[in-house]
Structure 1
Amino acid sequence: MLAVHPSGAIGAAAGRAEVEELFRGGAGSWQGFRVVRGPGAVAVAMADRGAVALVTADALVPGVDVVPVDGHDPLRAPEAYPVTAEVGVGAGARPGRVVTSLWTGDVMLGRRVGAAMAGTGNWELPFAQTADRLSAAALTVGNLECTLSKEGRATHGGDSFGADPRALAGVRRAGYDILTLGNNHLGDYGDAALVRTVAVARGEGFATTGAGESIAAARDPARVEAGGLRFVVLAFDAVGESPEAGPASPGVVWLRMPPITGPLAAADLAAVEQSVRAARASADVLVVVPHWGREYSHRPVADQYTVAHRLVEAGADAVIGMHQHWVQPIEVYRGRPVVHGLGNFVFDMTFSEQVQQAVVVELVHWGRTLKSIRALPVRIGTGGVPRFLDPAGAEGRGILATVWG
């Protein structure tokens, strides 16, 4: 396989004959890339955007992507890949069962998005251009950035996000399995609406995490089996605004940290780390979803790195964050991906290009082994309706350049 830095895989393609020639011969370059071989080749490709690693599948790790050969993706459909080689049996050496999961940013079904659904009578409208692709994954996860009840007083004025529960028809059509609720808008209509939102989402068959009628309920992970893997997801809110759940009071899981809720609170972080450690034994794949960071910025705040790295060290397989409304970089720490900001997904913001651009992240597992993280560029159009972009197109390339920058 030809493994390159993810930015180098955009629009790249190869033919079977040229790949076989590279393996047989000793060519030092391919399509402008410097060819590296042998132990450590993948690490070189991760660090050097001008290098391509010529390797077998057992060497692939998150942080590189692979070039399709004759139109076949060796990670998502290894059985159809036309170039094979014998390798020793080991972790990740054989494909096993391929399991893909998709992770989207904020899904806001109120305000103008809700008005468009109500006006047309089409409660699946926000997912009209993405439902087929989202539902094709073994698991689909997103952050529900609104309440499903308006039974209390609006606490954010015009920025109070409340949705009609009928809007969950589109969420269901798009194949979502888990909705994270640890965010700064779940409290927009008070405690009763928050509790009602959790109940409605779960009553419609979605697993939730990050909010509940007490801190114990809010910390309870979402658990879904998909593709034979036990996925476990935790979520927290570092932005505040929604009430902090207490021993007997409803709210969301808080983690106080810059730039909004104060200096990094050691006790809050320790509590989330403990949740990760407690969930680890029952998970094949354990992901933490933070709501964090500075709005309208491509740059993570320093403590995003600190918190993410601590969560990976506690046992998280991935950290996938959002809230900023702009995309932020992806890093790989100790072999595990950290997505600092997915951007919006379903949202009615239109005041800048950046708030209408996003990524959906795809994790590709071979059995329990994570082989790849991919960023799929998205444009949010009229009415807050997103669509997937061609990664090789001008806008798709621009978004991915920021994510992998």
Structure 2
Amino acid sequence: MSRWQAVALVMLMVLGTTLARAADSVVRIAFVGDVMLAESERTGQLIAEGGDPFAHVRGLLAAADLRVANFESSAGTQGRPDAEKPFSFRTAQPALRVFSSVFDVAGVANNHAGDFGREDFAETLTALRAAGVQTFGGGPDLKTAHRALMIERKGVRIALLGYLDFFPRWFAATPGRPGVAWLDTDQAALDIARARHDGADVVLVVPHWGVEHEPRAHRRQRAAARALLAAGADAVIGGHPHVVQDHEVFRGKPVLYSLGNFVFDGFEDEDNNTGWVAFVDVDRQGVVSATTRVVKIDASGTPLPDPDRAGPCWCRGEAVMSPCAKVRP
């Protein structure tokens, strides 16, 4: 064997090893529920006073390769509060910077994204991206709102799709007008197919749905989740009810109907002040596992890991989810 042949053989071996490692790469994605940092709320005021509502969970979230949160607020400066809603929320720039220091991605398909109107929502998208946070579940027009956010980590291409299934429906994006993606399962099937066509290895759907304060998903949620998975989604990770909800495995794929609150004040009941951090591990074949960690939210809206309670866990091939082993600090 000549010297050049030997060099070529070594290069092929190195390339083969690199490709094998890429094929086996597992990406850990952290999902959390509602994050409320509005300047009118205690959480936003805490930041204005120099505090950090994420202080006790930064280490927990740092274990993920990608961190995703539902951004439950406007971050613009335009418009007026929605007169038909009891609460309209706006996040100031200092709080937005704190948010961006923790999360890589913000889901905007929720019922408070449009609290100050369509132009303000467009500004909110710009503000989040300027802060270094990518967005999904909404856009400047209908087509963009329904286009998956594609992110690559460790050679795995991950598509995120977000949908709103709770009033106000008027805030759904339309051709030429900004807004959020409305949950229509036929349209979502097309969105999932488009994400696959664009090269997604994994498609994860994050719907904002359900009845507030209800611990179990209702029939509409269950039917929609199963339709999304049948259409090719690899997992469904929901939110909105302000409590954690039940879970299931359908066609070998996990569904977490609601992660509950994460950073949110103003609730007194324990179930409203309990949330899950969902760590979803994925590879090129789909979801490898889903692990939850329980957080308890204090009076200021700040989450703290709760080692005394266990959420659901699941691994590929298992027919049901089971309680996670408790994690001691």
1:236 paired to 2:163:
yes
Q: TM-score when scaled to structure 1?
A: 0.68
Q: Is residue 214–residue 248 contact of structure 1 (8 Å, CA) maintained in 2?
A: yes
Secondary structure, aligned partner of 1:126: coil
2:282 corresponds in structure 1 to 365
**Taking structure 1 as reference, are residues 361 and 309 closer, same or farther at Cα in structure 2, changes over 3 Å only?**
same
1:182 corresponds in structure 2 to 109
Q: Which amino acid aligns with 1:145?
A: E
Secondary structure, aligned partner of 1:364: strand
Q: Which amino acid aligns with 1:323?
A: H
Q: Distance in 2 between matches of 1:287 and 1:146?
A: 22
2:92 corresponds in structure 1 to 164
Q: Distance in 1 between matches of 2:99 and 2:56?
A: 13
1:302 corresponds in structure 2 to 219
Q: Is residue 36–residue 263 contact of structure 2 (8 Å, CA) maintained in 1?
A: yes
Secondary structure, aligned partner of 1:106: strand
Q: Distance in 2 between matches of 1:343 and 1:388?
A: 14
Q: Distance in 2 between matches of 1:366 and 1:240?
A: 35
2:200 corresponds in structure 1 to 283
Q: TM-score when scaled to structure 2?
A: 0.83
Q: Is residue 47–residue 94 contact of structure 2 (8 Å, CA) maintained in 1?
A: no
Q: Which amino acid aligns with 1:113?
A: T
Partner of residue 210 from structure 2, selected from 287, 293, 296 = 293
**Taking structure 1 as reference, are residues 400 and 366 closer, same or farther at Cα in structure 2, changes over 3 Å only?**
closer
Task: Point out where structure 2 has 5 or more consecutive residues left out of the alignment.
Answer: 1-22, 314-320, 324-329
1:89 corresponds in structure 2 to none
Matches within 5 A, 1:296-375: 296-365=213-282, 368-375=285-292
Q: Is residue 234–residue 286 contact of structure 2 (8 Å, CA) maintained in 1?
A: no
Secondary structure, aligned partner of 1:365: strand
1:173 paired to 2:89:
no
Matches within 5 A, 1:145-156: 145-155=72-82
Q: Distance in 1 between matches of 2:200 and 2:60?
A: 25
Task: Point out where structure 1 has 5 or more consecutive residues left out of the alignment.
Answer: 1-94, 256-267
- Displacement of 1:404 in angstroms is 5.5
Partner of residue 270 from structure 1, selected from 186, 206, 217 = 186
Secondary structure, aligned partner of 2:168: coil
Q: Distance in 2 between matches of 1:326 and 1:167?
A: 24
- Displacement of 1:350 in angstroms is 2.1
1:208 paired to 2:130:
no
**Taking structure 1 as reference, are residues 304 and 106 closer, same or farther at Cα in structure 2, changes over 3 Å only?**
same
Q: Distance in 2 between matches of 1:198 and 1:233?
A: 16
1:191 paired to 2:118:
yes
Secondary structure, aligned partner of 1:279: helix
Q: Which amino acid aligns with 2:93?
A: P
Q: Is residue 349–residue 356 contact of structure 1 (8 Å, CA) maintained in 2?
A: no
2:35 corresponds in structure 1 to 107
Q: Distance in 2 between matches of 1:207 and 1:139?
A: 11
**Taking structure 1 as reference, are residues 163 and 215 closer, same or farther at Cα in structure 2, changes over 3 Å only?**
same
Identity value in percent: 35
Q: Distance in 1 between matches of 2:134 and 2:147?
A: 10
Secondary structure, aligned partner of 1:319: strand
Q: Which amino acid aligns with 1:147?
A: S
Q: Which amino acid aligns with 1:121?
A: G
Secondary structure, aligned partner of 2:272: helix
Matches within 5 A, 1:6-155: 96-110=24-38, 111-118=41-48, 120-122=49-51, 125-155=52-82
**Taking structure 1 as reference, are residues 128 and 219 closer, same or farther at Cα in structure 2, changes over 3 Å only?**
same
- Displacement of 1:269 in angstroms is 1.9
Q: Is residue 177–residue 224 contact of structure 1 (8 Å, CA) maintained in 2?
A: no
CA deviations on 1:205-235 (whole Å, 9 max, x unpaired) are: 2221111221112112212112321111000
Q: Distance in 2 between matches of 1:172 and 1:153?
A: 25
Q: Distance in 2 between matches of 1:190 and 1:323?
A: 20
Q: Which amino acid aligns with 1:334?
A: R
Q: Distance in 2 between matches of 1:121 and 1:377?
A: 26
Q: Which moved more, 1:360-369 or 1:104-113?
A: 360-369
Secondary structure, aligned partner of 2:246: strand
Secondary structure, aligned partner of 2:174: coil
Q: Is residue 209–residue 221 contact of structure 1 (8 Å, CA) maintained in 2?
A: yes
Q: Distance in 2 between matches of 1:178 and 1:192?
A: 21
How many pairs were matched up? 290
- Displacement of 1:352 in angstroms is 0.8
Q: Distance in 2 between matches of 1:388 and 1:345?
A: 11
